[in-house]
Amino acid sequence: AQSVTQLDSHVSVSEGTPVLLRCNYSSSYSPSLFWYVQHPNKGLQLLLKYTSAATLVKGINGFEAEFKKSETSFHLTKPSAHMSDAAEYFCVVSDPFGSSNTGKLIFGQGTTLQVKP
Amino acid sequence: EPEVTQTPSHQVTQMGQEVILRCVPISNHLYFYWYRQILGQKVEFLVSFYNNEISEKSEIFDDQFSVERPDGSNFTLKIRSTKLEDSAMYFCASSDWGRLSGNTIYFGEGSWLTVV
C-alpha cells in the first residue's frame, strides 16, 4: 500500500533563506511523486513531479525536489524563500502501474510554510 | 493554460438536503476524479471515473454519493441527504493519464460545502 509522510506540519523561514520541506513515501512499486501547493482560498497547483526520469526535478517558482530511492524520500527545496511562497504544501504519491490503475493520488498531511519578513 | 473549473465556489445547505457540485474537466482529458478536504485534514480520494463508469472509489464514497457525466463536458458529484460531516472542500480533477507522463492530475479551485 502507498503512503506519504510529511515530517513537518509547520515550517517557518525568513525571506531570502532556504526552504526544506521533508517527505517520505512508501510504495510497492516505482512511484510517481508530486508536490502540490495550495495558497489560501485557492485550489491545488502542481509544483513539480517525478516520473522515473531524472532524480532531481525542477518545478515552478524556483522549487526543486530530489528523489532518493534508498531513503524513500522526496524532499522539496528552494534556495531563497519569497513572501509569496507562504502556503500549504502537499507531497503526493501515485502508483501508475499499480493494480488499481486509476491513477489516484495519496496525499500527505501537508506542511504549512510561513515566510517571515 | 487549460484548467478545471468548478461551480459553485461555495454552497451552504441544510442537513438532509441534496447537493450537486459541478465540474468542467480539461477538454481532452479522459480520467476524472473527486477529492475532498475536511478543514484541517488531508486531501482524501473519493472516486475516479473513466469511460462513463466509476473505476475506483474509496470507503468514503458510499451510497450517499454519486457521480455522473451527463453531457460529455460536465462531471458532477451528487451528495444525497447531506450530513454535518460532509462539510468540506471538494476538489474536482482530471488527467489524460499517460503512463509515460506519470499521470499528472490537474485540480480545480474547489467547492466549499458547508452543511448546517
pLDDT in tens, A49-75: 988 778 899 999 999 999 998 999 999
pLDDT in the model for residue A30: 75
- Residue A95 pLDDT: 67
Cell of B105: 492530475
Q: Does residue B102 register a pLDDT over 60?
A: no
Task: Tell me the average pLDDT across B75-91.
Answer: 96
Contact B48 A102 (CB under 8 A): yes
> What local confidence, expressed as pLDDT, does residue A42 receive?
82
Min Cα–Cα distance to chain B from A110, Å? 7
What residue in A sits closest to B100 (Cα-Cα)?
A51
Show Cβ contacts of residue B113 under 8 Å, excluding neighbours closer than 6 positions. Answer: B11, B13, B19, B21, B79, B82, B86, B87, B88, B89, B90
d(CA A24, CA A22): 7
Cis peptide before A79 (omega within 30 of 0): no
Q: What integer pLDDT is reported at residue B100 of this predicted model?
A: 47
Considering chain A, what is the average pLDDT of its residues?
Answer: 90
pLDDT of residue B96: 81
At residue A41, the pLDDT reads: 77
A47: pLDDT confidence band, cut at 50, 70 and 90?
Answer: very high
Q: Give the rounded percent of residues in chain A with a pLDDT score beyond 90.
A: 67
Sheet holding B65-68, edge to edge: B5-7, B19-24, B75-79, B65-68
Q: What residue of B is the nearest CA neighbor of A110?
A: B42
Is the pLDDT reported for residue B97 higher than 80?
Answer: no
Helix (H) and strand (E) counts in chain A: 0, 12
**From the centroid of its chain, how far is CA A67?**
10
Share of chain A above pLDDT 70, in %: 91
Query: Interface of chain A against chain B, CB under 8 Å?
Result: 32, 34, 36, 42-46, 49-52, 90, 94, 96-97, 100-110
Measure the CA–CA gap between B48 and A94, rounded to whole angstroms: 13
For the segment A97-114, what is each residue's pLDDT rounded down to a tens digit? 555 566 788 899 999 999
Q: Report d(CA A95, CA A99) in Å as an integer.
A: 9
What residue in A sits closest to B34 (Cα-Cα)?
A: A104
What residues in A contact B101, CB-CB < 8 Å?
51
pLDDT for B7-51, tens place per residue? 999 999 999 999 999 999 998 888 899 999 999 888 999 999 988
Instruction: Please state the rounded mean pLDDT for residues A9-15.
Output: 97
